[in-house]
A and B are shown apart, each in its own frame.
Chain A
Amino acid sequence: MAQVRIDGDDLVVVMEGLDRFWAQKSSLTIPMVNVRGATADPGMAAEPKGIRAPGTHLPGVITAGTFHLDGEKVFWNVKDPSKTVVVELADERYVRLVLQVKDPRATVALIENALS
């Protein structure tokens, strides 16, 4: 699970509990100007993940960490696909973040409202 908040001009993602270990990352800070949008997307979990480095991938259990697919880096932190939010980025190390959050609808509204 990840906590997502807007802090000034930044999007801040904080991994909770053991997810810090599984994802090999405790937090991410992304300038909002580099955030293109957010979408609640339970179906994302079924997509190919690519090669993990570093991170954890136990199919059906957890996908966490940095994954390389088609020459792009995607950050995953998902155990429960039904609570997945996809955050699309530009000019960042990751092209997108795939995060499990407590309330996908509220998280999407938080990010999209900050963009408009």
Chain B
Amino acid sequence: MARTLTFNIFRYNPSDPASSPHMDTFTLPETERMTLFIALNKIREEIDPTLMFDFCCRAGICGACAMVINGRPGLACHTKTKDMPEDITLMPLPVFKLVGDLSVDTGTWFRGMYQKVESWVHTDKVFDPAAKEERMDNALAEQIYELDRCIECGCCVAACGTALMREDFLGAVALNRLARFILDPRDERTEKAYFDIVGTDEGIFGCMGLLACEDVCPKQIPLQEQLGKLRRKMALAAVKNILPRFLKKDF
């Protein structure tokens, strides 16, 4: 026990003209059950009050604390120092705009994403407060929940080669989001409407299928399976789209 930990942390404050990107080193004695949440707060409170990072729930459920931890995107709040070597290197997530040090702006990116995929139930029905709820099969509700578990931490986006190369790539998280609505009978969008959103290089056809996304997802969302399903569905829709008009059905 009683190790001394060395933290190498990326530093840069874009709002301060005197600041330039560099690495800073901090040391801390390790304590029992220490997590990166505890360590980073200790550094900020006791050593450097300017250190920027994000935590919110500190319980692995809000997605705020994603960063690159020894080379791999992950949640800092549930990373225990005892599982790490004495030398720990922390970098902000790539792809997202840097706010400062380890803090990035995921909010703007995700808002853009869910505007693009129109991440809401599309229906012509009107809610009737006097009526009972519409029925749903419990197994289906649980299936939807499985895909709804994404916490928008951004790890999958940060790990994705395509997302790093093209700014407009929707990412596995968006494709998973759409899969959730395709599954939901309350959403009345047609196959064509879904295709228009993801049947492009920005969407499913830009994905190289290397699956870094699923590897790093802290919620173990079955991204691979969803990408596969979507790819097959959209490939089929694409073929139908280029067939002569008279052969097309129900679009």
Is B one of A's binding partners? no
Question: Could you list which residues of chain A lie within 8 angstroms of chain B, going by C-beta atoms?
Answer: none
